[in-house]
Chains A and B, each alone.
Chain A
Amino acid sequence: MPELIKVDARGMACPGPISALTRAYRKAKNGDTIEVLATDPGFKPDVQAWVKRTNNELIELTEEGGVIKAVIKVTGKRG
């Protein structure tokens, strides 16, 4: 069953949010969705670069009230 993994990285300084995403990604499998909340402005370009490098899918990247929300569909894990 695909799972939704939530990562709350609000308040963490760079590269805290990407590190938290990496830790969640280790446990994830293809088909899962990872949702990351972050307040560090550096997270936006970092997560875009990350999905490109890892061949995962960025299905949502929004910012509201200083909180960045990134939703990633896991598609890039080796079998």
Chain B
Amino acid sequence: MERVLILGGGGGGAILANLLPKEEFDVTVVDRDEYHVFQPGNLFIAFYGDSIEKYRRPIRSLLKPHVKLIRDEVTEVNLNDRKVKLKGGKSLEYDYIIIATGANLDFDAIEGNRELLESYGDFYSTLENAEKLYKTLKEMREGRFVIAIADPIYKCPPGPHKGAFLSSTLFERMGVDVDVVLALPFPHAYPSKTISDIIEPELERRNIEVHTFFTVDSIDVEKKRIYSLEGEELEYTVATVIPPHEGPRYKIEPSEVKDESNYLKIDKYTCLIEGFDDAYAIGDCTNAPTSKSGVTAHLQAEVVADRLQGFDAKYSGRTNCPLITDGMGLFIISDYDHPPIPVRLSRFKRLLEDLFVATYWDAIRYPELWQPIFHAYFDATSPAKLGERGW
């Protein structure tokens, strides 16, 4: 029996644990939290007022019975000695390790950002903070709700846009005159120009004020102003600033496997950590040049599950990031060889996203049953097939 140690019980870690056949692998998952969080749920809590319970499940309930779960925090990973130390004092050994502990949000990197989070909440960090933002927004009667970004590399590239669209609908439903402002570090309204051209008319139609080349440098919570690196400033009534992200903070030996932002340096196809053949990293904690999103973690988990079973599987870099408004949706589809393809907003795609939300817990718990369905979808919508024709 090969001993597989998976750090992190999020989307990537849980799917991988459940995919490995129990006859061949002795699988242990380590996570510091009791709950697995469906992170897009933050949006539905913050802008629809959904309950927290809808978007979290105990990690134990999502893992197959033969998968061991240790609730503890990782303090040190030694890839040379194949050892992991936990805060509770335990030391674990492995034959294969998969690091899937996600990205950390650094609210102390930008002056004023922690105060902003504590005052208003946000739709990015935790379900509790999303609940807080909903309460904050429900109290607004006028003024400006500003969504801004502190670093161009953040989880879920369409997240801020979803926040802008859904908050504008919330204010409309409340019948209040609040302006929604979206400030982005990019030259256009979306990282990809193709997608930007598609969503700009929709942003305009909803009177969402867009500021490009605006990367947050600091926040003055007294004057209620956000200053950008590029030299501009924005006034707010309520604001949320997506903080800089970074990879794991715990010690990893050798330290060269982390880049300057602590992300794990991996081969973008095999997900192997540079210099190792028994250590992988998947999901938001890696430096893979693709979107930090659930679909990445999911597809990388499948690749690693195949590789551990002796297959030469490779991750294509495929993304499928949903961008939704209150009634419409689109998916941003790209891979390592294709930039985002042209797509249009439709009601059907919003329905697909709702369907995905409804199937989420089941897809984590029984990935082997959902695999053929997801594969059929990814195959039918592959960038190579849809190409310039778009979808």
Binding site for B on A (CB under 8 A): 12-16, 18-19, 22-23, 25-26, 42, 46, 49-50, 53-55, 76-78
Contact = CB atoms under 8 A, between A and B. Distances in A.
A50 B193 contact: no
B286 to A, nearest CB: 16
B289 A12 contact: yes
Contacts of A49: 187, 213
A42 B194 CA distance: 12
Interface stretch (B13-21, B227-235, B382-390): B227-235
Interface string B204-245: 000000000101010000000001011100000000000000
B329 interface: no
6 contacts: A13-B339, A19-B152, A19-B153, A19-B185, A19-B191, A26-B217
Contacts of A42: 193
A23 to B, nearest CB: 7
B192 interface: yes
B339 A14 contact: yes
A14 B190 CA distance: 10
Contact of B213 (A12, A14, A50): A50
Contacts of A16: 289
Contacts of A50: 187, 213, 230
Contacts, number: 55
Contact of A15 (B191, B229, B289): B191
B186 interface: yes
Contacts of A23: 151-153
Nearest to A43: B187
A14 B193 contact: yes
Contacts of B151: 23
A34 to B, nearest CB: 13
Given A19-B152, A19-B153, A23-B152, A76 B187 contact: no
Interface string B158-188: 0000000000000000000000000001111
B152 A22 contact: yes
**What 9 A-B pairs are tightest by C-beta distance, nearest first?**
A19-B152, A54-B230, A46-B187, A53-B213, A15-B186, A15-B191, A13-B339, A22-B215, A22-B185
